[in-house]
Structures are given as structure tokens and as C-alpha cells.
């Protein structure tokens, strides 16, 4: 612990999913500073130092950081967890001379179009894509390329505004739904490639990718909630054969190098179509959705959060610590009740008591209004189950979901 003594680590973002990392840092003996625009954010309540600033407002964050760094105590490292703010993190690191990825790399990671253009230039396998300048331009692209395609905001996050374009989808409405979710008012389209989708998470050390995080994404509701992409969980280990998993890891390595991350973290969204992997997106941050904090440690015993804490402080990270120590089944499933006003929620304690249930987290309460989901953030909660293999983990997760009864009435 002596290597952490007296050091200060900053987290940009204090949401509930960042809390495990914040608590881990404090347990190591670090002085932890958290920035968030919400004074009631859970991470702020758990922090030693609190900065009130929007995680997406680089200048406001820098103003607060400089004041704290100068007047309270020096900051030795900065990172984020479960918040898509690598640009803010990189700007703070650059301003204070701390370890981190270059600002231009972070900016590219938050701009899906710039990212795809760089991947295309470097020969990284990606679906066909194009910027969309207007509804008329979208209609022209659909005529030229055919369907299905995927329409998405260039600079949004969490699946907001992302839609699968099929013949029955109104292109004008789809364009309006996408562009309203883009802070910069920019939209792009890409080829929809059928096939299993994979979430990866890697630590890059001196240009070499270590990828202990590897999960099958679960899209069983893709038709029910069309045209929106509603992911309702993930499963580990992957069902893919070992040679395909190796090909995915090799692609992530190539994409990380193209993006410009040589020391840091990359989170990959990959699709395997006709046996070949393609990059959908690559994020330069630790994941949300409890993937890096819970699922990966349960699956293979690797602590990516600790590795990122050390990288952020400029401390060495042993590549051997990023290798799987064991393998067991893990399944996360989101809960999507019928839309409407929540009247009651029953069965939470029953679900918690079932074998292998590692987490039950409900985010809805009686009186809440549940809208028809347009992204995975609209769920009413989740469960995480653990077992000796993936099939048993899936069964346990489904049993827990079925034990929870969320009663709603139409609004």
C-alpha cells in the first residue's frame, strides 16, 4: 500500500456504477477526488474531495481541477469509470502533466465518424459507413446501399438514437430521432452486419492488448423494440470457437493501435459476420453496465479497475495480472416490464435468495413511469448470475428475472 500513500486520484463522474472503483481507490489508501454536476451523485458522497462540474464540460472541469490542485492538494492521476468522458479525462491529464492518452486520441474516441475514418485508413475491418448530411442524403444512401442499415448519432452514447433501418422504418422520423440525440447535430449510417455481437475490454500496455473481458451481447428483444437496439444483457464465457475469439482479440489490438491508445484501456463493440469480426465502435474508457467491476472479475478473476487505477497514477502494471485466473459462467440480464406507471414490485428478496445470484439491482420504484424503451438505459433493473458454465448461469439469471414481478398500468 505504500506506493499509494499520499497520492490523490481523481474520478471524472460519480454515478452509481463508478462507486465500486471509487471505493476500491479509497481502500488502497488513496485520497479520492470526484467531479460531477450532481451534488447528490453517489460517487461524490463517497469521495474525499468533491468538484461540482459537468463531466462533459471540459473547461468547467479544468477550472475546478486547477483550483483544487493549487489550493487543496496536488492531483496525481485522473480516470473515469462507466462514464463516456475520455476527452475530459485526457484534458485534465494533459493540463496537469499526468499519465493518460493524448487529447486528440480521446477526441477521436468520442467521434464515431472520425474513428471510422481512421480505421478505414488503417485497414481495420469495419462495416461500410457514411456521414449523413440531411434526410434527403439519407434517402439517397438507402437507395444506393440498400437495407438494412444502422443510423446513429456521431457523438452520443449509451445506444441513444441508434436505430436499425428496415423497409418499414420511416426515414424522416428515424433521422429526427437520431439527430436530436447528437450534441453536435451530426448523424452517420453504416451497414448492418448480421451475426453475434461481442463486448470486449482490454488494457493496453506498451502497445500490447490484454483482453480478459469477452462477453456475448444478448439481443433477444431486437425485433420487439425495433427499430431501436435494445440489449438486455450479456453472457460469459463466449460461445464462439477459440479461433474466432483469437481473431476478435487480434482485431481489437489492431483497432487500439489505429485509434492511438498505446497505454490505457479500450472497450470494444464487435460483430462477427460470416465468421469474420468487424469493429462497430471502440471506447477509450472503462465500461459501464457492471462489466469491468463485476462481470469480468466473476468470469476470469481479473481486476481491470485496479489496473486502470495504477496506469492513471503512472504505476507499473504486470501483464500477468491481466491473464485469466479461472473461468466460470456469468450472465447479466436486464429487466424490461410492460411500459406504464409502476404499481408494485415483488419478488426482489426471492430473486436474491436463488442459487448463484451475485447482484439484483432495481432502478424503478412504485409511481415511476416506464416509457417504451429506446435504449438499454430504460430497463427497470438487472440481475447477475454466476455458475460453473454459461448455460447454468443463463438459467439462473432467467430464474431471477422471472421471480421479479413489476406490475404496471397503462398511462
Parse the chain into domains and list their residue ranges. 8-98, 128-191, 194-327, 330-409
Task: Kindly report the CATH class assigned to 194-327.
Answer: alpha beta
Q: Report the pLDDT value the prediction gives residue 379, as an integer from 0 to 100.
A: 92
Burial of 304 (0-12, 13-18, 19+ CB in 10 A): buried
Cβ(85)–Cβ(97) under 8 Å? no
Q: Report the pLDDT value the prediction gives residue 22, as an integer from 0 to 100.
A: 98
Which tens digit of pLDDT belongs to each residue from 245-299? 999 999 999 999 999 999 999 999 999 999 999 999 999 999 999 999 999 999 9
Cis omega (within 30 of 0) on the bond before 227? Answer: yes
Q: How far apart are CA 80 and CA 90, in angstroms?
A: 10
Mean pLDDT of the residues in the chain: 97
Q: Report the pLDDT value the prediction gives residue 409, as an integer from 0 to 100.
A: 97
Q: Which residue has the cell 460461445?
A: 239
Which tens digit of pLDDT belongs to each residue from 348-404? 999 999 999 999 999 999 999 999 998 877 899 999 999 999 999 999 999 999 999
Look at residue 306 and tell me whether its pLDDT is greater than 90. Answer: yes
Three state DSSP letters for 373-409: CCCHHHCCEEEEEEECCHHHHHHHHHHHHHHCEEEEE
Q: Strands 49-52, 31-36: parallel, antiparallel or unpaired by DSSP? A: parallel
Interior/surface letters 196-211, b for 16+ CB within 10 angstroms, e for the rest: bbbbbbbbbbeeebbb
Q: Report the pLDDT value the prediction gives residue 357, as an integer from 0 to 100.
A: 98
How many CB atoms sit inside 10 A of residue 232's CB? 22
Q: Hey, what CATH topology would domain 128-191 get? A: Dna Ligase; domain 1 (3.30.1490)
Which tens digit of pLDDT belongs to each residue from 130-185? 999 999 999 999 999 999 999 999 998 888 999 999 999 999 999 999 999 999 99
Q: Report the pLDDT value the prediction gives residue 377, as an integer from 0 to 100.
A: 76
Q: Report the pLDDT value the prediction gives residue 208, as an integer from 0 to 100.
A: 97
Look at residue 72 and tell me whether its pLDDT is greater than 90. Answer: yes
Cβ(231)–Cβ(203) under 8 Å? no
The overall pTM is greater than 0.95 = yes
Confidence of residue 1 (pLDDT cuts 50, 70, 90): low
What is the pLDDT averaged over residues 91-117?
Answer: 98
What is the pLDDT averaged over residues 85-107?
Answer: 98
What is the pLDDT averaged over residues 301-321?
Answer: 98
In a 3-state reduction of DSSP, which class is residue 304? helix
Q: Report the pLDDT value the prediction gives residue 222, as an integer from 0 to 100.
A: 86
Domains 8-98 and 330-409 share a fold: no
How many CB atoms sit inside 10 A of residue 382's CB? 22
How many CB atoms sit inside 10 A of residue 71's CB? 7
Helices (H) and strands (E) in the chain, counts: 13, 19
In CATH, the architecture of 330-409 is 2-Layer Sandwich (3.30)
What is the pLDDT averaged over residues 90-109?
Answer: 98
Look at residue 39 and tell me whether its pLDDT is greater than 80. Answer: yes
Q: How far apart are CA 58 and CA 72, in angstroms?
A: 20
Q: For 121, list phi and psi in degrees, rounded to 5.
A: -65, -30
What is the pLDDT averaged over residues 320-338?
Answer: 97
- 8-98 — its CATH code? 3.40.50.20
Q: Report the pLDDT value the prediction gives residue 78, as an integer from 0 to 100.
A: 98
Q: How far apart are CA 318 and CA 334, in angstroms?
A: 34
Percent of the chain clearing pLDDT 90 (strictly above)? 95
Q: Report the pLDDT value the prediction gives residue 378, as an integer from 0 to 100.
A: 80
Amino acid at each position: 500500500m505504500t506506493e499509494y500513500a499520499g497520492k490523490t486520484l481523481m474520478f471524472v463522474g460519480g454515478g452509481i456504477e463508478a462507486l465500486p472503483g471509487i471505493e476500491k481507490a479509497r481502500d488502497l489508501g488513496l485520497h479520492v477526488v470526484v467531479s460531477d454536476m450532481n451534488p447528490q451523485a453517489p460517487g461524490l458522497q463517497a469521495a474525499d474531495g468533491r468538484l461540482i462540474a459537468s463531466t462533459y464540460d471540459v473547461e468547467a472541469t479544468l477550472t475546478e481541477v486547477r483550483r483544487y490542485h493549487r489550493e487543496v492538494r496536488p492531483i496525481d492521476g485522473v480516470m473515469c469509470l462507466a462514464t463516456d468522458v475520455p476527452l475530459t479525462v485526457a484534458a485534465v491529464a494533459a493540463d496537469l502533466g499526468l499519465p493518460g492518452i493524448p487529447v486528440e486520441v480521446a477526441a477521436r474516441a468520442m467521434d464515431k465518424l472520425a474513428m471510422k475514418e481512421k480505421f478505414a485508413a488503417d485497414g481495420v475491418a469495419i462495416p461500410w459507413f457514411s456521414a449523413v448530411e440531411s434526410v434527403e442524403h439519407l434517402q439517397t444512401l438507402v437507395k444506393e446501399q440498400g437495407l438494412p442499415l444502422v443510423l446513429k448519432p456521431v457523438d452520443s452514447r449509451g445506444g441513444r438514437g441508434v436505430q436499425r433501418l428496415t423497409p418499414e422504418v420511416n426515414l424522416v422520423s428515424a433521422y429526427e430521432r437520431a439527430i436530436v440525440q447528437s450534441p453536435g447535430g451530426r448523424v452517420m449510417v453504416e451497414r448492418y452486419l448480421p451475426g453475434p455481437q461481442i463486448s470486449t475490454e482490454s488494457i493496453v500496455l506498451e502497445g500490447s492488448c490484454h483482453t480478459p473481458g469477452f462477453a456475448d451481447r444478448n439481443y433477444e428483444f431486437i425485433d420487439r423494440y425495433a427499430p431501436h437496439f435494445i440489449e438486455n444483457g450479456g453472457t460469459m464465457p463466449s460461445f464462439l470457437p477459440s479461433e474466432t475469439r483469437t481473431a476478435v482479440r487480434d482485431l481489437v489490438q489492431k483497432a487500439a493501435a489505429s485509434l492511438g491508445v498505446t497505454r490505457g484501456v479500450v472497450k470494444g463493440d464487435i460483430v462477427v459476420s460470416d465468421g469474420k469480426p468487424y469493429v462497430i465502435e471502440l471506447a477509450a474508457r472503462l465500461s459501464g453496465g457492471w462489466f469491468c467491476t463485476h462481470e469480468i472479475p466473476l468470469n476470469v478473476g481479473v481486476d481491470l479497475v485496479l489496473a486502470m487505477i495504477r496506469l492513471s497514477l503512472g504505476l507499473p502494471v504486470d501483464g500477468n495480472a491481466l491473464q485469466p485466473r479461472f473461468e466460470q459462467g456469468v450472465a447479466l440480464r436486464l429487466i424490461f416490464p410492460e411500459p406504464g406507471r409502476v404499481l408494485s414490485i415483488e419478488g426482489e428478496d426471492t430473486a436474491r435468495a436463488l442459487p448463484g445470484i451475485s447482484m439484483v439491482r432495481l432502478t424503478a420504484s412504485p409511481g415511476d413511469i416506464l416509457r417504451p424503451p429506446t435504449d438499454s438505459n430504460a430497463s427497470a433493473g438487472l440481475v447477475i448470475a454466476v455458475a460453473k458454465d454459461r448455460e447454468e448461469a443463463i438459467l439462473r439469471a432467467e430464474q431471477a428475472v422471472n421471480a421479479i414481478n413489476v406490475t404496471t398500468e397503462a398511462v
